[in-house]
């Protein structure tokens, strides 16, 4: 059983294995995404957050998921092309994963254990659930699908500032 977010490996849209260790020292916003969801327009504010804070150490990690209403039917190349052409996404996107159930990706099992939802539920309710992770790998908070990513900016700034204070 992994005890740190940095113990996991994830698969990029190009099929390459990426160690979460790569993101040690970064503030992470991890999101399960979908191309045909009512929340798909959240890609735009997610990219805005990434553009605004990437030089300060924010990484947004997008994990497509087809478990909610089959709203991510495409393969990796289609997903990548959609994200780039429709929303100009430049933050890392990963291979499609399950976030709930017996086949849930181990990273998402870990995230939901560390930051349960309302009334302690571990299951993710819908696409565009977001998890904020500090530079030390601590899962700080879980945000609902309905939370506009720009509403998370103050929490991201706090994480980035706290980390900067420790580095100074």
Tell me which residues are annotated as active site.
37
Instruction: Provide DSSP, 89-157.
Output: --S-BB-----SSTT--HHHHHHHHHS--GGG--S--STT-EEEE-TTS-EEEEE-TTS-GGGGHHHHH
* C-alpha span between 154 and 132 (Å, rounded): 12
């Amino acid at each position: 059983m992994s005890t740190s977010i940095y113990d996991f490996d994830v698969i990029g849209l190009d099929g390459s294995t990426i160690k979460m260790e790569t993101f040690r020292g970064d503030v992470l916003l991890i999101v399960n995404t979908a191309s045909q969801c009512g929340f798909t327009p959240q890609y735009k504010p997610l990219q805005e957050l990434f553009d605004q804070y990437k030089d300060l150490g924010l990484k947004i990690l997008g994990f497509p998921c087809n478990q909610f209403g089959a709203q991510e039917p495409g393969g990796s190349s289609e997903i990548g092309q959609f994200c780039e052409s429709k929303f100009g996404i430049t933050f890392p996107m990963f291979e499609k994963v399950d976030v709930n159930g017996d086949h849930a990706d181990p990273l998402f099992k870990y995230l939901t254990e560390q930051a349960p939802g309302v009334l302690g539920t571990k299951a993710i309710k819908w696409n565009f659930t977001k998890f904020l992770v500090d530079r030390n790998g601590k899962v700080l908070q879980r945000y609902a699908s309905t939370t506009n990513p720009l509403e998370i900016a103050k929490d991201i700034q706090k994480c980035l500032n706290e980390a900067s204070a420790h580095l100074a």
